[in-house]
Amino acid sequence: MRRIAPILLLLFASCVSARDAGVRVAMSGWMNALNDLDADRIISAFAEDATAFFPVVKAERADGKAAIAAVFRDYVAASTKKTNVVPEDLRIDLRGNMAVVTFNVHNPSAVSRRTFVWRRDANGWRIVHMHASNK
């Protein structure tokens, strides 16, 4: 049994990684789009019925893809150079066709906390909710 336990643990870890691979790729693609300041790619990841909370630019919830797109288009237009946001302590909780992705980003002035809720449908993974806050 002692020889089998490490093998079972390795197999379980591989299965967990394979299960969340799709949402991990989607999240990575979205982060790349954000860092590249590619508004179209940023926005395309959101579902039509998505909601979002932004830390500074909008006090109330943004309802729908169009409202979220407006915030990101303004953000991209106001940015003068590409960013380098790197998620830390990334965690994925996968439940069927839904996934919750959380992470932190440390920078000199704040700790940024991010939560994304992703939903898988016939077109792949789409963001249905984003919550961003800074401390």
6 lies in some domain: no
Question: What pLDDT, in 10s, does the model give residues 73-117?
Answer: 999 999 988 888 999 999 999 999 999 999 999 988 889 999 999
103 lies in some domain: yes
40 lies in some domain: yes
- Position 16 scores a pLDDT of 44
Instruction: Tell me the CA distances in angstroms from 62 to 7, 10, 82, one per residue in order.
Output: 47, 42, 24
- Position 56 scores a pLDDT of 79
99 lies in some domain: yes
As a residue count, the chain comes to 135
- CATH number where 31 lies: 3.10.450.50
| Mean pLDDT, residues 4-12 | 41
- Position 83 scores a pLDDT of 87
- Position 17 scores a pLDDT of 55
DSSP string, the chain: -TTHHHHHHHHHHHHHHHHTHHHHHHHHHHHHHHHTT-HHHHHHTEEEEEEEE-SSS-SSPEESHHHHHHHHHHHHHH--S------EEEEEEEETTEEEEEEEEEETTEEEEEEEEEEEETTEEEEEEEEEEE-
Looking at the structure of the chain, the number of domains it has is 1
15 lies in some domain: no
13 lies in some domain: no
5 lies in some domain: no
- Position 5 scores a pLDDT of 44
Tell me the residue range of the domain where 120 lies: 22-134
Q: How confident is the model at residue 18 (pLDDT cuts 50, 70, 90)?
A: low
Question: What pLDDT, in 10s, does the model give residues 28-77?
Answer: 999 999 999 999 999 999 999 999 999 877 778 999 999 999 999 999 99
16 lies in some domain: no
Of 5 and 21, the one with more pLDDT: 21
